[in-house]
Amino acid sequence: MKKPKVFIACDTTSLTKVRRIIDHSKTNKIEIGFKFGLEFMNSKKGRQFVSTLKGKIIFVDLKLNDTVNTMLSAVKALRDLKINYLTVHISSGLTALKAVKKVSGKIKIIGVTALTSLNDNDLKLIGYNKSVKQLVAHQARLAKKASLDALVCSPYEVSMVRKIFKKEIITPGVQFRKKNYDQKRSMEAKSIKSDWLVIGRAVTRGNIKKNIQKLAKELIK
């Protein structure tokens, strides 16, 4: 049986807290990676700290979404970090996605579909005329055309996306300890059949070691 795979979201600017998260997340029951988003990467010492990490699976979640040249420059500027995964918004367009993939080197490029904090009504307010499922299906096809390495989608789109996109699927919007915070399209961890789960505050708040043990128990049932 394959080990469940979980990215622990290090959503903080505190180096002390991040070190604690990494030190207390050790387990042989789950494959653990660490996700660093805008909050940490934009902090005073965030980037420098990530550059020192060795022997860890590192996911930098910047959700790049800009002009082609700007995105290319950003990806090139990150290659010295030796990270494993990097997110880009699929809404940046097929040309940008293909260009980023070409210069990414060993970094796996993850396409971000509709955010898990959005629902059908939110999409209408933004100006989309598609439902969440319709939009995510369309974005999955674009990710496939661009030869991206992985895709982010909510738990509710995983089975649909698998029929379109045959590589890694990474899923936020994970309910654990009955907490899902600001996610509108979430599901219990044990019910999600993606390649990687992303869990943050439900693990990193409180006793991290105990939370990891509880998570492992839930995922391996």
> How far is residue 7 CA from its own chain's centroid?
8
> Is 221 one of the annotated active-site residues of the chain?
no
**3-state SS class at 198:** strand
The size of the chain, in residues, is: 221
Among 194, 202, 197, 200, smallest CA distance to 30 is for 197
> How far is residue 116 CA from its own chain's centroid?
11
Which member of 17, 63, 190, 214 is catalytic? 63
State the DSSP code for 131: -
Torsion sign across C-alpha atoms 45, 46, 48, 52: positive
The stretches of 84-207 forming alpha helices (DSSP H) are 94-103, 120-126, 132-145, 158-164, 201-204
In this structure, what is the dihedral angle of CA atoms 60, 199, 141, 132, given to the nearest 10 degrees?
A: -120
Query: Going by C-beta distance under 8 Å and a sequence separation of 6 or more, which residues neighbour residue 172?
Result: 9, 116, 152, 154, 183, 197, 198
**Which residues are identified as catalytic?**
63
